[in-house]
Amino acid sequence: MALSTLLASALCTIVLPILLFLVAVKLWEVYMIRGEDPSCPSPLPPGSMGLPFIGETLQLILQRRRFLQMKREKYGYIYRTHLFGNPTVRVTGAENIRHILLGEYRLVSAHWPSSVRTILGSDTLSNMHGSQHKTKKKAIMRAFSKEALELYIPVIHEEVQTAVKRWLVQDPCVLVYPEMKRLMFRIAMRILLGFKPEQIRTDEQELVEAFEEMIKNLFSLPIDVPFSGLYRGLRARNFIHTKIEANIRKKVEESDKGSKHRDALQQLIDSSRKNGEPFSMQAIKESATELLFGGHETTASTATSLIMFLGLYPKVVKKLRQELWDKGETGMDLENLNIESLEQLKYTDCVLKETLRINPPVPGGFRVALKTFELNGYQIPKGWNVIYSICDTHDVAEVFPNKETFQPERFMKKPLADSPRFQYIPFGGGSRMCVGKELAKVLLKIFLVEVVTKCHWTLLNGPPTMKTGPTVYPVDNLPTKFTSYVKT
């Protein structure tokens, strides 16, 4: 009798809850698959929808790139899942991504997760559509013209030189990733938002920490309660807004007096006035925050990857130095760079491209299906989110042999230049290609020239483990020892 009572108790307390949980998960799967459009003959992509309501969001947040690799290995280049509160199809491969990126406004539309839209705001370029997106993009692109980039170069070079000098006297090591974020943040504050160096010094530490908190919580569950990721992200965002509002007001006043500025923020202020729009402080603050996010987080990630790869491949560093010395002997002034001289650095450009191939700073982009459509034999239901994968597409691109090896020379070969589009998309593609890609190239080439000609360095922990959150970074912050390099 006692044994049967014990078994019954175990059944009620252990087995039954497990069975109910499994039934709930199965019912959740069935419920989500009801989103399938019966008028479309193609089946849904393979995959799983995870736990009720939260789907597979937690697995993605905890495992990041490993989670995506496991899903791709199991289900292929197109699979379904449930992320950030929405049924989602993840897409990999050049031909598949071509349909997505060229299908903007026809098949899909940009649609970031709820947490990203809430934190960054509705008046940002990434969250705008149609004519509004085109107008704002046109205004921002003026700040990334060749003439504007030429004006930014001395500021970029000054900040990079200052940082490199500091690293050379810092003992025993430099934590590269935090240093890169600080460096790129200062550059973005100066050339994108027009902050003066003394202004940055006053608020730099607090702003950097606030950006850390905001970025860390960009991709979080859409639950705004105390201590949740979304709550912390919004609080950090509000602090950033308060710090940049005074600078915006100052720009508006100076603009009224006829003063001209060359930074991206001023272009947005002037554009809103030319279009007869009422001035919105909230909209400008949101745009400024987006510019700072896009202008420093991705370049910090890539600069860190450059230090990592070059630390692992000294022969590449040797070839870089040789190119720079050769150019110097033919008249290039490495201390006074310009757009023309940077464009002559072909091998330097290849090193940057190879770094972006293996470690694209942004792993992909978000869209939403405007209507049900077919993609490579599967249906993508209307209203479902679509994530296109940059990192996975680079991994599977047939045009790159020996994918795991860092080989900048591959970009010197003509067949690669003639290869099909969308096999290499570190800056995205289509109408929403990264607006700051030319600035990023200029900035990172200047960084390469300075660090390669002035430094030797050693990675103290060897090859690091890389994670994504939301950009690619080394989990150990890449501790590195820098020493002075003198040409012999």
Q: Model-level pTM greater than 0.85? A: yes
Can you tell me the distance from the alpha carbon of 482 to that of 167, in angstroms, rounded to the nearest whole number? 6
Residue 314: what are its φ and ψ, rounded to 5°? -60, -25
Residue 21 lies in a domain: no
Contact 120, 293 (CB under 8 A): yes
Can you tell me the distance from the alpha carbon of 418 to that of 463, in angstroms, rounded to the nearest whole number? 33
Residue 470 lies in a domain: yes
Contact 464, 363 (CB under 8 A): no
Contact 359, 303 (CB under 8 A): no
Residue 40 labelled as part of a binding site = no
Can you tell me the distance from the alpha carbon of 103 to that of 101, in angstroms, rounded to the nearest whole number? 5
Can you tell me the distance from the alpha carbon of 293 to that of 285, in angstroms, rounded to the nearest whole number? 12
Residue 343 lies in a domain: yes
Name which of 425, 382, 418 is nearest 93 in CA terms.
Answer: 425
Give the domain CATH number at 246: 1.10.630.10
**What pLDDT sits at residue 358?**
95
Residue 349 lies in a domain: yes
Residue 23 lies in a domain: no
Domain that holds residue 239: 35-484
Can you tell me the distance from the alpha carbon of 267 to that of 278, in angstroms, rounded to the nearest whole number? 16
Residue 19 lies in a domain: no
Low-confidence ranges of the chain (pLDDT < 50): 28
Residue type, 271: S
Residue 30 lies in a domain: no
Q: How many domains does the chain have?
A: 1
Residue 398 lies in a domain: yes
Q: What is the mean pLDDT of the chain?
A: 86
